[in-house]
Amino acid sequence: MIVDLSDQIVIVTGAGRGIGREIARVTAAAGAHVVLVARTAVDVERAAAEIDATGAKASAWPADITDAAAVAELVAGVAKRFGRIDGLVNNAATSYLANLVMAKPDRWRAVYELNVFALVSCTQAVLKHMIRAKRGRIINISSVSAPLGASYYSAYASSKAAVDGFTRSLAREVAKLGITVNSIRPWFVEADDSNDAMAARAKMFGKSTEDYLAGLIAESPQQRLITAREIAALAVFLMSHDARGIHGQALNVCGGHSM
């Protein structure tokens, strides 16, 4: 099935690297004009240029979405330029690797500021436009660690559990308004940003990155990591008209790691 998102306007946060960049690329390939948002200007501008070079439509918008004023400026600017906002993919996130006894409170707060509060801020700002249009798609990138937990990643896993709870609650609020809200729960993804996190985790356990990755793959029923393309493909389908009945769900893309 070919998903056609022609003329739709979709905002993707955390779009400078990894999963977010691939979601932006596949969404643009489906016909949408994608607004790529990330804190690092060079990353998001490069990602948008790569999409433009394919003939698809993309705009770079460097912004720190933990700043409420920056979020308001982003959403107002996109709405003014395009006259509509059809989709929001809340992908921007960070993690913190530490055992709880040694964990620093400010690092925990930083995880929640981006993974939870910034996500809520972006959603709140975009939702007003979707309600007026009586249509919209909101997709939150969560994690399979939300239901399962993850040792030494308690800040990250618990923040993603909060994302799933927010997803279900908002879905109940907007169910009659033509807006769908869902989350996608990846397992370990083969992407540049997640590879950095896996290297840090390997170091913590005194292993090489290669040995640690081999162990992760051995744990997977499919004996592999998930690809960013798989996450992007599901996100694009959830933006489609045919996915309008999928609502308030947390969808695992984990190769059977969680069943």
Q: List the catalytic residues.
A: 156
CB 155 within 8 A of CB 112: yes
Tell me the sheet residues that pair with 186.
253
CA distance 13 to 15: 5
Tell me, what DSSP letter sits at residue 117? I
The sign of the dihedral angle between the CA atoms of 19, 25, 31, 35 is: positive
DSSP 123-178: HHHHHHHHHHHT-EEEEEE--THHHH--TT-HHHHHHHHHHHHHHHHHHHHHTTTT
Residue 206 Rama label (left phi>0; alpha psi -120 to 50; beta)? left
Q: At what angle do helices 154-174 and 119-133 cross, to 10 degrees?
A: 20
Residue 171's alpha-carbon distances to 43, 56, 119, 199, 237, in angstroms, are: 32, 31, 15, 36, 18
CB 198 within 8 A of CB 152: no
Query: How far, rounded to the nearest angstrom, does the alpha carbon of residue 84 sit from its chain's CA centroid?
Result: 21
Query: How far, rounded to the nearest angstrom, does the alpha carbon of residue 212 sit from its chain's CA centroid?
Result: 25
